[in-house]
Amino acid sequence: MKWIGQHIYDLTSRFRGNVFHEGEVIFRNDVFLEDISSGTIASGAHLGLDSNNKIVKAADGGGDLTSIVAGTGLSGTSLTGPIPTLNVDAAQTHVTSVGTIGAGEWQGEPVASAYLDADTAHLTTDQTFTGSKTFSNDQTTFLSANANDPLVLIKNTADDNTSGRLRFLSDRGADGEDDDSVGMIQFYGYDDGTPSGQQYGRILTTIHDATAGEESGTMVLSVANHDGGLESGLTLTGGSVNAEVDVAVGTGAASVTTIAGTLTMGSTATINNSGVIQVAAQTVIDHDQLANFAANEHFTQANITTLGTIGTGVWNGTAIASAYIADDAVTFAKAIGVTPNVYGSTIKVLPSDFMANEEAGATKTVQFVDNTASGLKPGNASTELLAFVSIPEGMKATLIDVYDEGHNLAVEVYEVRIDQDGITSRGSGNANTQIDITDVNATATNYLMIQVTTTATSQRVHGALVTIAAQ
């Protein structure tokens, strides 16, 4: 029997009681346990269990368990090494400690902050999130008792011209519709009478037109207006035309819109900060709509038929007839060189205004003939008749008409000065034909000289007209 116990070889033996062995036991093939519902496998054991409670040969140098079947009653406190697969019961009562849970979603009890990493530990201190993060909570609160806190910072560190973004996405799971709200920022505080929060401002963006290819939005900036209710102060609407945005400012007829600087329309400065219109032409202003309009004080030029006094300014209308000029004004006009020869926009040159030229000879005279051939008669066949005309102040001479008996005598017009020698021709032509001269502006020292050259003593010159206009 002793020999058999020491030299069992290729035999199968059944032990009915406990078997104790003091040395190492090596199993070269599988060993089955009928019941391991209780007890433990000590740390460092070189055994492995498969899903059928079969003890299998462990990997060399290790003592890993390849799996634990639910309900085996094995205590995790006495296991060592990584556990690739945990097949536990629904109550999870048999897993009491584990080092790392791999990929998957945690559905157990809330994890204490001590077991969360620094990025997510209750967000009780300054936090930095990198990469994409998703928060599925209905409400996330950032709370701080410090002055000027909390601060939510969106920081972009890319070395380019881009920036961070704050995006609102409204996804109803179907096509968007007009008037859908797509984003809102609200500003709340407390008034001095109630403990509840009061909304003092809001930025709201909605869909103005949800039509595909014609999408336009509306953005409204609103504030509480005296009774706690919100009213829009600035409304931007995409409008119905491409590349157009309509803007509505203020609410209510009593609202006041203040512009600190100059109001520019397009690229033109229109009104400065004193209310002065900056552009010259205002062709569409309706004087009937002016704040100080009085019907008996405003007239169009076409309807002015009676006026008592014209105030200061420059008269730029048609010439005023002498009948409407006071006697003192006529006297003053004479005093500054405007003689009664001025009629409307012309100066009459009379026969008495002519004289003969300087050529020697007793016949170099002129006389006025008062018969049927009335007019200025030269004493010599080739006499130069000279008339001198003063141009009224502020006016200019533009046209010359000389009249004779149909002889069409040669005429030349000169500008002469009383303070120096020399004459300058300003134009020439013939009598009975209007001569367009170079315009001669009136000065304190110049005047016109009209020269008519006769060719026979039988010729008569009746006079001339000088047309004048404002400079």
C-alpha neighbours within 13 Å on the C-beta side of residue 12: 2
Q: Which residues pair with 429 in a beta bridge?
A: 411
Task: Write out pLDDT tens, residues 126-164.
Answer: 667 677 777 667 788 888 889 998 888 889 999 999 999
Q: Is 263 exposed, middle or buried (0-12, 13-18, 19+ CB in 10 A)?
A: middle
Asked if the model's pLDDT at residue 333 lies above 70, the reply is: no
pLDDT of residue 405: 86
pLDDT digits (tens, 9 = 90+) for 283-318: 667 777 777 777 776 666 666 666 566 667 777 777
For the cut 70, the answer to whether the pLDDT of residue 241 exceeds it is yes
Confidence (pTM): 0.40
Given a cut of 70, is residue 371 above it in pLDDT?
Answer: yes
Percent of the chain at pLDDT > 90 equals: 34
Mean pLDDT for the chain overall: 76
- The Cβ-side half-sphere exposure at 216, using a 13 Å CA radius, reads 15
What is the per-residue pLDDT across 11-39, written as a single tens digit (0 to 9) for each? 455 555 656 656 666 656 655 554 444 44
- Closest by Cα among 461, 468, 390, 391 to 430: 461
Q: Rounded to 5, what percent of the chain is helix, strand, coil? A: 5, 30, 65
- Shortest CA distance to 389 belongs to which of 342, 434, 424, 436? 342
Calculate what percentage of the chain has a pLDDT beyond 70: 62
pLDDT of residue 444: 92
Write out pLDDT tens, residues 36-72: 444 444 444 445 555 555 555 444 433 344 444 333 4
Closest-CA residue to 345 (of 441, 467, 463): 467
Q: Within 13 Å and on the Cβ side, how many CA atoms surround 419?
A: 4
Tokens of 89: 């019961």
pLDDT band at 193 (very low <50, low <70, confident <90, very high): confident
The mean pLDDT value for 375-401 works out to 90
Least confident window among 25-39, 128-142, 263-277, 401-415: 25-39
Token representation of residue 63: 């003592």
Q: Which of 452, 451, 459, 390 is nearest to 425 (CA)?
A: 451
The answer to whether the beta carbons of residues 228 and 240 sit under 8 Å apart is no
Take residue 72 and report the two structure tokens written for it.
């085996």
CA distance 366 to 376: 7
Confidence check: pLDDT of 182 > 70: yes
DSSP state at residue 325: S
